Amino acid sequence: MPKVKSKCANRCKVSRKTLALAKKGDGDALLAVGCAAYTNGDYETAMKYYEAAAEKGVTQALVNLGYCHYYGRVTPVDYERAFQCFSKAAAEDEDVSPEAFFKLGDMYLWGNYVEKDPSAAFKLFVRAYEAACSWTSRFGDDADETDDVNFTGLLRADAAKRLGDCYRYGTGCEKNMFLAFRYYAEAERLFAKKASLGDQFAPSLYAKAREALDAVRDEIAP
């Protein structure tokens, strides 16, 4: 199991400069303050800053608002508003929205607000993977640990895990255990990297990817 660096706690704080910029209405600063509030469990404050950042045209703020509505932070779960946020983010800027694509895929996969459509879900997972790969091709997987660019590229892990599931079970595509193995292996490696950078959710996702990888390896072993 990969270890999570203690420096992740530093991500919960924002500098005085960032706070000052947020007060002046800087979109990126508003997003940063919102993210810090969210990480600290203050979802009400986070949503206020996300909404303000979204009004400034910050696409990631739309994605984060989508998460808040999807998981019912502050307000009850609202899949309709989540869908609207993810859809708008995906339409505005593909380069920074791999999350928007794979969360839309999740909604089509499970039938949250929209009708279940495995084929649409699979296509959205592919788009999420490609969007994350675009970041990786430009910036690599080894950016500084405090650099959010790196986390955007590493969202490829989440998309890879979903593609592994699709190929493993034939969800929206033809079943292919060898492709499932490939994507699970990539997801395991990248979740380990995310955990080493301080992502609090990565260790459990790493464990799931590893479990799936082991299961597929046993099935395709001669």
Of 24-38, 81-95, 122-136, 147-161, minimum mean pLDDT range: 147-161
- Tell me the whole-structure pTM to 2 decimals: 0.87
Please give the structure tokens belonging to residue 204.
């459990």
3-6: long-range pairs with CB below 8 Å, 24+: 3/195, 3/196, 4/195, 4/196, 4/198, 4/199, 4/200, 4/202, 4/203, 5/145, 5/196, 5/197, 5/198
| pLDDT for residue 14 | 86
Q: What is the rounded average pLDDT of the residues 131-146? A: 60
**Residues 7-22 pLDDT 10s:** 333 345 789 999 999 9
**Residues 72-129 pLDDT 10s:** 999 899 999 999 999 999 998 656 678 999 999 999 999 999 999 999 999 999 999 9
With a pLDDT cut of 90, the percent of the chain lying above it is 73
For the chain, state the CA radius of gyration.
Answer: 18
| pLDDT for residue 7 | 32
The residue with tokens 């190929």 is: 167
Instruction: Please check whether residue 113 is in contact with residue 107, taking contact to mean a CB–CB distance below 8 angstroms.
Output: yes
Reference 30, options 6, 60, 4, 2; nearest CA is 60
| pLDDT for residue 5 | 35
| Summary mean pLDDT of the chain | 87
Sign of the Cα torsion 99, 100, 103, 104 reads negative
Higher pLDDT, 6 or 64: 64
